[in-house]
């Protein structure tokens, strides 16, 4: 039966495919595809983990028989041993490994989900309660698997090659759509270049970092789709309508045909936009606009060049640090990554932002931030200043990479004058340390992100110390409106057209221009073609966004007359109801 789930649109386009649910578990579970030749090794890992758990349970039983334990406990361990050896579960896991090429952990959680649903449907309350036992047994196995984890496939096999390997019911070549309760930004990054044609998550907001990575992958995605991970089952046909923020499950042939048509139209539009790659971004009245790329990894520079970006306006360096279970990259590893990005841009400017960890970007995958208000806590530069040795390591790596090309150094979330001075002192110290070692480094321009209202309201301070500013509208909106950008329950209040946001933005652009300092916008607003005319009219001349958005924004620029837009844009920014002027 066809039904639809409404969420939040984060990445445009339409994906039609079979659902692959990724089940969340209390144990941190890696999801990756194995190579066909690795299935035996995966069976062996699984068997070893199962044997270890059986040994554990048997030892517990022996210990209990020596003590005076209640007989119910012994019976419970019997149940656990029985469930551990359940042949239906084992066969399902083996099938997921051998046919779908899931790693053992993923296969186990997928099968657990299927069996859990069967338990939920049971009439007998005693049997229904055995679901919790099944989960406990599975978690024991997962913990052992984690201890003996195989290396994830860094780059899962490309889509075309993989699809033939997946014998999905009656549709061996069907694209795959990943459905999850939540995905961390690090998970998302792991799925980059993977087989998935679309993403759906229950939680998340438009500018949550998971959504941002999905957007950078240029794959249709819907977040905040509430209970999608519970409603959608393995191999269900789903349509991800990234334009409308809707997921359609089990679509009828008429709906499928309609969406197939829309997909082809979108392809044609893409083809048309691709022709703009080498057209200079100049407005009708001759204003040259700088279109820069936001990247998460050095390899993303290829996508930036492919759409004609003239530099990198934001390299979110924290992605090098995430999901490494405490093993942070050392100076040389970071240097090589930054250098790869700089060289990847062939001499064009690469703006490297120092680590912005915290809030919805935890260092370790799924390790919950236990602070009460993580977005207001030890995040970004606050974290860096609290870990000076780590920060100096990063600064030295960036300064060394600057010897290979033009580097801008960007500092996130600065608020106080003393934070600014401390940061600049540490940059000087990093330089001095390199000099003392006799190590080559290059000059950098230093910029601050304006993403806290306090910073936007004390621009003089920032302009005194910095060579350039970059407005992080994602956080500026979050902090101005007191809306957690990652929380779908308040996503309807996240408003880039709120008068307070527009006033802060307009004032920052104007003040920068008055003092002759370059101002860029690198938040998601810069990549929204619906905002291009407004930003141009407010005087913005440098936009940084995901490569996938550059050509659509360029098209708007080519059609705009910046001088004519100026009075209208300032009226919008001063209005109490900007949305009415902009959209109406």
Q: In angstroms, what is the minimal distance from the CB of 207 to Mg ion? A: 9
Query: Residue 409 gets which letter from DSSP?
Result: E
- Distance of closest approach, residue 353 Cβ to Mg ion, in angstroms: 9
Tell me how many residues contact Mg ion (CB under 5 A).
3
Bridge pairing between strands 221-223 and 8-11? antiparallel
Binding status of residue 475 toward Mg ion by CB under 5 A: yes
Residue 296, contacted partner among Mg ion, ligand PEP, none, CB below 5-8 A by kind: none
37 beta partners: none
Contacts of 427 (CB under 8 A, 6+ apart): 395, 399, 409, 446
What minimum distance in Å lies between the beta carbon of 363 and ligand PEP?
A: 15
Question: Smaller CB distance to ligand PEP: residue 303 or 522?
Answer: 522
The nearer residue to ligand PEP, 358 or 578, going by C-beta atoms, is 358
Query: Measured from the CB of residue 412, what is the shortest distance to Mg ion in angstroms?
Result: 6
Give the residue with the Cβ less far from ligand PEP, 30 or 459.
Answer: 459
Residue ranges that bind ligand PEP, judged by CB under 6 A: 212, 314, 316, 356, 451, 472-475, 522-523
Quote the tokens at residue 185: 């930004």
Tell me whether residue 300 or residue 451 sits nearer to Mg ion (CB atom): 451
Q: Which of 404, 441, 522, 546 is catalytic?
A: 522
Q: Is 522 a catalytic residue?
A: yes
Residue closer to ligand PEP (CB basis): 105 or 419: 419
Alpha carbon distance 32, 178 (integer Å): 12
Residue 113 or 419: which CB sits closer to ligand PEP? 419
Residue from the set 472, 512, 537, 547 that interacts with Mg ion by CB under 5 A: 472
Q: Minimum Å distance from CB 97 to Mg ion?
A: 40
Cα→Cα distances 10→4, 185, 232, 233, 524, Å: 17, 14, 20, 22, 10
CB of 108 or CB of 214, closer to ligand PEP: 214
CA distance 501 to 535: 13
Q: State the nearest-atom distance from the C-beta of 449 to Mg ion, in Å.
A: 6
| Closest approach of ligand PEP to the CB of residue 378, in Å | 15
Short-list 374, 375, 357, 356, CA closest to 481: 375
Choose from ligand PEP, Mg ion, none: what does 523 bind? Cβ within 5-8 Å by kind.
ligand PEP
The CA-based angle 497-548-407, given to 5 degrees, is 90
State the Cα–Cα distance between residues 170 and 303, nearest whole angstrom: 34
- Distance of CA 202 to CAs 237, 278, 487, 488, Å? 18, 39, 11, 9
Question: Of the listed 209, 404, 441, 546, which one is catalytic?
Answer: 209
Q: How many CB atoms lie within 10 A of CB 474?
A: 23
DSSP-assigned letters across all residues of 256-276? HHHHHHHHHHHHHHHHHHHTT
> Of 400, 507, 430, nearest to 462 (Cα)?
507
Instruction: Tell me which stretch binds Mg ion (CB under 5 A): 122-130, 291-299, 443-451, 487-495.
Output: 443-451
473 binds, among Mg ion, ligand PEP, none (CB under 5 to 8 A by kind): ligand PEP
CA distance 192 to 211: 13
By a kind-dependent CB cut-off of 5 to 8 A, residue 316 interacts, out of Mg ion, ligand PEP, none, with ligand PEP
Q: Which does 556 bind (CB under 5 to 8 A by kind): Mg ion, ligand PEP, none?
A: none
By a kind-dependent CB cut-off of 5 to 8 A, residue 410 interacts, out of ligand PEP, Mg ion, none, with: none
- Put the strands of the sheet holding 246-249 in their side by side order: 3-6, 246-249, 237-241, 14-22, 176-180, 196-201, 221-223, 8-11
- Residue 201, strand partner residues: 180
Q: Which does 295 bind (CB under 5 to 8 A by kind): ligand PEP, Mg ion, none?
A: none
Q: Which residues are catalytic?
A: 209, 522
Binding site for Mg ion (CB under 5 A): 451, 472, 475
């Amino acid at each position: 039966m066809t039904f639809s789930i409404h969420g939040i649109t984060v990445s445009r386009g339409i994906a039609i495919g079979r659902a692959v649910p990724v089940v969340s578990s209390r144990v941190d579970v890696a999801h990756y595809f194995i190579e066909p030749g690795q299935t035996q090794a995966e069976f062996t890992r699984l068997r070893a983990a199962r044997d270890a758990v059986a040994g554990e349970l048997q030892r517990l039983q022996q210990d209990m028989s020596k003590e005076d334990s209640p007989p119910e406990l012994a019976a419970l361990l019997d149940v656990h041993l029985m469930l551990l050896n359940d042949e239906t579960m084992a066969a399902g896991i083996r099938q997921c490994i051998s046919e779908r090429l899931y790693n053992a952990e993923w296969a186990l959680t997928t099968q657990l989900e299927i069996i859990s649903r069967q338990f939920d449907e049971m009439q007998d309350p005693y049997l229904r309660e055995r679901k919790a036992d099944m989960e406990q047994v599975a978690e024991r196995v997962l913990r052992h698997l984690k201890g003996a984890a195989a290396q994830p496939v860094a780059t899962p096999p490309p889509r075309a090659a993989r699809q033939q390997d997946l014998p999905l019911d009656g549709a061996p070549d069907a694209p795959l759509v990943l459905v999850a309760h939540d995905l961390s930004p690090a998970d998302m990054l792991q799925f980059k270049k993977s087989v998935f044609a679309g993403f759906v998550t229950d939680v998340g907001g438009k500018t949550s970092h998971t959504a941002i990575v999905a957007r950078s992958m240029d794959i249709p995605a819907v977040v905040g789709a509430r209970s999608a991970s519970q409603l959608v089952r393995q191999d269900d046909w789903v349509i991800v309508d990234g334009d409308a923020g809707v997921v359609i499950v089990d679509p009828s042939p008429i709906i499928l045909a309609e969406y197939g048509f829309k997909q082809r139209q979108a392809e044609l539009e893409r083809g048309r936009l691709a022709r703009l790659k080498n057209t200079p971004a100049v407005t009708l009245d001759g204003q040259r606009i700088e279109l820069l790329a936001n990247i998460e990894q050095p390899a993303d520079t290829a996508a930036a060049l492919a759409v004609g970006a003239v530099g990198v306006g934001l390299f979110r360096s924290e992605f090098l640090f995430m999901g490494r279970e405490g093993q942070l990259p050392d100076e040389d590893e970071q240097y090589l990554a930054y250098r790869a990005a700089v060289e990847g841009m062939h001499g064009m400017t690469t703006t490297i932002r120092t680590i912005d960890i915290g809030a919805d970007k935890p260092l370790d995958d799924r390790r919950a931030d236990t602070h009460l208000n993580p977005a207001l806590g030890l995040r970004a530069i606050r974290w860096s200043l609290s870990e000076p040795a780590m920060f100096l390591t990063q600064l030295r790596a960036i300064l060394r990479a600057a010897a290979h090309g033009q580097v801008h150094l960007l500092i996130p979330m600065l608020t106080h004058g003393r934070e600014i001075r401390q940061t600049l002192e540490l940059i000087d110290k990093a330089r001095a340390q390199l000099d003392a070692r006799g190590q080559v480094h290059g000059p950098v321009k230093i910029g601050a992100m304006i993403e806290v209202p306090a910073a936007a309201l004390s621009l003089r301070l920032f302009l005194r110390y910095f060579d350039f500013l970059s407005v992080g509208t994602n956080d500026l909106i979050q902090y101005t409106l007191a809306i957690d950008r990652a929380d779908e329950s308040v996503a309807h209040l996240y408003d880039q057209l709120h008068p307070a946001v527009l006033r802060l933005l307009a004032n920052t652009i104007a003040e920068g221009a008055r003092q002759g300092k370059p101002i860029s916008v690198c938040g998601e607003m810069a990549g929204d073609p619906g905002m291009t005319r407004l930003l141009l009219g407010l005087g913005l001349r440098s936009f940084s966004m995901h490569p996938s958005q550059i050509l659509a924004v360029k098209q708007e620029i080519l059609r705009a007359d910046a001088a004519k837009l100026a009075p209208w844009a300032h009226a919008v920014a001063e209005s109490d109801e900007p949305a009415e002027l902009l959209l109406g």
